[in-house]
């Protein structure tokens, strides 16, 4: 009972920590960057609403993480049904999601009041206030972020409230995580001088915090609900907690690099002192987790007390984070008006011309993408090591292909294509081609799903871990539809028309969320197409090799013709973006576009030949393997099938 009371007091501690942080940084008494000072309702009320928002968010993620990944099912026969603690926590998550959505709306309203200052009181004209708020929420980027986030959370709440199957709860978790990641666009991150790294790091930081703290807090608050399954859930949670700590530390380091000039500012500036207090809290939490693992993760009363202490410390950390979001960092987070290009790109434009040398020597870091590439490589190597220790064989060439794919992905997102892709169309086309036709085939040949299914032990209690969820997705009707060769080909080639000729390219240049979506779409569509053609992992719709070659030739022929269409186009793709940059004239931009179309047309022949060679090689190996199988069968039965065939021919000849 005491542990639950301590955990329940966490939101109050978060509020006190937030107000303390506002006082330490001076944000409670002076507001920088505004012509009109915000009202006290905004100054003191917005942090309180944010605490409610963050608390509900962490609670929802914690409940759903337990439901979808950690808690056992009550028997394999009811693996897909929500029953017992999973059903109860899903219902609690729906309540928390409604609170989360409401807090998002209120936070949006207070942000609108902050934008207009004290000049327009809330009570002066309520219809006028609603009209101004709706305009703010639909036209201003911060308002759009909160509005879309509230919509996604409300959608998740509806799904969770009526959920009866584990798949529905998983969809609710997906929408909730998407709403959570959108928050990375808000605050200092969205206007940072290095906004790509700031946004990505903040999104990872928030997600890792929710994944770490949420399940622990829920297991303490709902000990009776979790009941006998607490020990199993805690053991399964330990790897996630370890990964979350690493993600929090890495993303926090990137955030500090963006917002401070050096470690000395941790003690020399008010903002740095609050960051230092937050760092101490995170170190305490990491120490709690390490101590708990040394005690062999027993879900007893001692764990409950420790987890309650963790919840209190994390509440203080969340409160300090809210205060940091309301305070001015030492490094200005707005770009001067005369640096127009840097404000649009988020980094200084490269001075050297784009050549074959700078393509491979330039470095524009996207730290989260670099971390993702390293994580993919590390997890793959850990899986291979587990197989080797168990005595199972794994082909070294698959490991080489996967590591080359990770290296290529890191280069595409951090090398010359990333540095020049925002300012030159043909550099962007190099990045596009690499994401769709270089990285995916290498990753596909690494057979990650086969490695996952062999390296991770299957669960026997009817619940679903990462292995089970991946296999469920691959055997779902969505995967069956997408794995049809014509569908994969249409997604691979047909999306080019939508992206470049329907205006989405311009959105991807102006908005970071659209740019991330572009990257993910290129990578996944290329992976799907390569999986259908040369995939080592099993497919719901395996094609014969002749159909694979036909699909390859038809799809990539369209790819080449699209390149010709880009060359022949008289309209500049992304004209408003390049006009905003103002770096090149119309003639140079049209030349860059023609070069980009030539790259798509000419360079695509190289991956086409390599993919075709891979299909033919697999075809030859399959025929050789089948011939060997027939030879072994003939050796076992004395070539009975051939003898029967000859006897049948003899009977037909005699009858004739």
- How would residue 113 be classed by pLDDT, with cut points 50, 70 and 90? confident
CB-based contact 97:176 (threshold 8 Å): yes
Same domain, 221 and 136: yes
Is residue 281 a part of any domain in this protein? yes
Q: Which of 531, 552, 546 is nearest to 479 (CA)?
A: 531
Give φ, ψ of 276 to 5 degrees. -65, -40
How confident is the model at residue 254, as a pLDDT?
80
- How would residue 33 be classed by pLDDT, with cut points 50, 70 and 90? very low
Buried b (16+ CB within 10 A) or exposed e, 147-169: bbbbebbbbbbbbbeebeebbeb
Buried b (16+ CB within 10 A) or exposed e, 286-314: bebbeebeeeeeebeeebbebbbbbbbbb
pLDDT in tens, 395-434: 999 999 999 999 999 999 998 898 898 888 888 888 888 8
Same domain, 441 and 299: no
Residue 240's domain spans which residues? 2-325
DSSP-derived secondary structure letter, 269:
S
Same domain, 235 and 371: no
Which residues make Cβ contacts (< 8 Å) with residue 372, sequence separation at least 6?
409
Same domain, 54 and 188: yes
What is the rounded distance in angstroms from the CA atom of residue 244 to the CA atom of residue 286?
10
User: Residue 518 class from Cβ within 10 Å (0-12 exposed, 13-18 middle, 19+ buried)?
Assistant: buried
Is residue 638 a part of any domain in this protein? no
pLDDT over 70 (residue 213) = yes
User: What mean pLDDT, rounded, does the chain reach?
Assistant: 78
Same domain, 360 and 299: no
Is residue 77 a part of any domain in this protein? yes
Given 325, 351, 374, the domain boundary residue is: 325
pLDDT in tens, 372-390: 999 999 999 999 999 998 8
How confident is the model at residue 273, as a pLDDT?
63
Instruction: Average the pLDDT over 439-446 and give the result.
Output: 91
Percent of the chain topping pLDDT 70? 68
Sign of the CA dihedral running 33, 36, 41, 44: positive
CB-based contact 186:142 (threshold 8 Å): yes
Same domain, 359 and 236: no
Classify residue 574 as left (phi > 0), alpha (psi -120 to 50) or beta.
Answer: left
Cβ of 132: how many Cβ atoms within 10 Å? 16
pLDDT over 70 (residue 322) = no
- How would residue 169 be classed by pLDDT, with cut points 50, 70 and 90? very high
Same domain, 315 and 431: no
Q: How many structural domains comprise the chain?
A: 2
How confident is the model at residue 622, as a pLDDT?
62
Is residue 314 a part of any domain in this protein? yes
Same domain, 260 and 177: yes
Instruction: Average the pLDDT over 7-17 and give the result.
Output: 60
- How would residue 160 be classed by pLDDT, with cut points 50, 70 and 90? very high
* 3-state SS, residue 622: helix
Same domain, 315 and 357: no
Same domain, 617 and 575: yes
Q: Which residue has the higher pLDDT, 74 or 215?
A: 215
Is residue 644 a part of any domain in this protein? no
Same domain, 305 and 255: yes
Q: Up-side HSE of residue 54: CA atoms within 13 Å toward CB?
A: 30
What is the rounded distance in angstroms from the CA atom of residue 262 to the CA atom of residue 180?
29
Q: Which of 200, 287, 263 is nearest to 520 (CA)?
A: 200
How confident is the model at residue 82, as a pLDDT?
85
CB-based contact 292:306 (threshold 8 Å): yes
């Amino acid at each position: 009972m005491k542990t639950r009371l301590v955990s329940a007091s966490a939101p109050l501690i978060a509020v006190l920590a937030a107000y303390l942080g506002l006082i330490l940084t001076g944000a409670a008494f002076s507001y920088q960057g505004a012509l009109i000072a915000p009202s006290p309702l905004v100054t003191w009320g917005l942090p309180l609403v944010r605490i409610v928002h963050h608390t509900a968010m962490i609670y929802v993620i914690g409940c759903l993480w337990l439901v979808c990944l950690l808690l056992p099912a009550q028997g394999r026969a009811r693996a897909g049904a929500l029953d017992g603690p999973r059903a109860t926590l899903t219902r609690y998550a729906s309540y928390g999601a409604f609170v989360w959505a409401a807090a998002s709306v209120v936070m949006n309203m207070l942000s609108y009041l902050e934008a207009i200052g004290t000049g327009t009181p809330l009570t002066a004209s309520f219809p006028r206030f609603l009209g101004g708020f709706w305009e703010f929420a639909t036209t201003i980027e911060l308002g759009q972020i909160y509005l879309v986030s509230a919509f996604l959370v409300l959608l998740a709440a509806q799904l969770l409230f009526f959920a009866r199957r584990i798949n529905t709860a998983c969809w609710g978790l997906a929408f909730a995580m998407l709403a959570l990641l959108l928050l990375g666009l808000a605050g200092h991150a969205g206007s940072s001088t290095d906004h790509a790294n700031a946004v990505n790091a903040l999104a990872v930081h928030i997600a890792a915090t929710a994944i770490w703290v949420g399940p622990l807090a829920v297991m303490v608050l709902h000990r009776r609900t979790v009941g006998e399954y607490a020990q199993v859930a805690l053991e399964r949670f330990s790897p996630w907690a370890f990964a979350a700590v690493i993600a929090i530390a890495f993303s926090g380091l990137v955030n500090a690099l963006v917002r401070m000039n050096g470690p000395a500012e941790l003690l020399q500036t008010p903002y740095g002192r609050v960051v230092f207090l937050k760092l101490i809290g995170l170190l305490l939490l990491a120490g709690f987790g390490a101590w708990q693992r040394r005690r062999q993760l027993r879900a007893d009363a001692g764990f409950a007390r420790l987890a309650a202490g963790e919840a209190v410390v994390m509440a203080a950390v969340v409160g300090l984070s809210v205060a940091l979001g309301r305070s001015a960092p030492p490094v200005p987070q707005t770009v001067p008006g005369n640096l127009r290009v840097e404000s649009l790109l988020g980094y200084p434009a490269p001075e050297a011309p784009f050549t074959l040398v700078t393509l491979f020597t330039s470095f524009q870091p996207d730290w989260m993408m670099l971390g993702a590439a390293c994580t993919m490589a590390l997890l793959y190597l850990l899986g291979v090591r587990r197989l080797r220790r168990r005595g199972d064989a794994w082909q070294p060439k698959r490991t080489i292909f996967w590591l080359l794919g990770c290296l290529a992905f890191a280069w595409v997102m951090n090398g010359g294509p990333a540095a020049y892709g925002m300012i030159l169309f043909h550099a962007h086309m190099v990045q596009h081609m690499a994401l769709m036709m270089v990285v995916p085939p290498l990753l596909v040949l690494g057979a990650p799903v086969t490695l996952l299914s062999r390296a991770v032990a299957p669960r026997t209690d009817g619940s679903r871990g990462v292995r089970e969820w991946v296999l469920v997705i691959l055997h779902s009707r969505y995967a069956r539809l997408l794995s049809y060769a014509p569908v994969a080909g249409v997604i691979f080639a047909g999306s080019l028309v939508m992206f470049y000729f329907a205006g989405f390219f311009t959105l991807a240049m102006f908005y970071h969320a659209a740019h991330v979506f572009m990257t993910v779409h290129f990578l996944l569509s290329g992976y799907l197409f390569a999986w259908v053609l040369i995939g080592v992992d099993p497919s719901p719709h395996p094609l014969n090799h002749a159909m694979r070659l036909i699909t390859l030739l038809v799809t990539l022929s369209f790819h080449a013709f699209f390149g010709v269409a880009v060359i022949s186009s008289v309209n500049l793709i992304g004209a408003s973006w390049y006009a905003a940059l103002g770096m090149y004239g119309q003639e140079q931009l049209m030349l860059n576009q023609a070069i980009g179309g030539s790259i798509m047309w000419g360079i695509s022949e190289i991956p086409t030949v390599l993919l075709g060679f891979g299909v033919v090689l697999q075809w030859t190996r399959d025929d050789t393997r089948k011939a060997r199988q027939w030879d072994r069968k003939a050796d076992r039965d004395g070539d009975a099938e051939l003898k029967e065939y000859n006897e049948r021919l003899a009977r037909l000849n005699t009858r004739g």
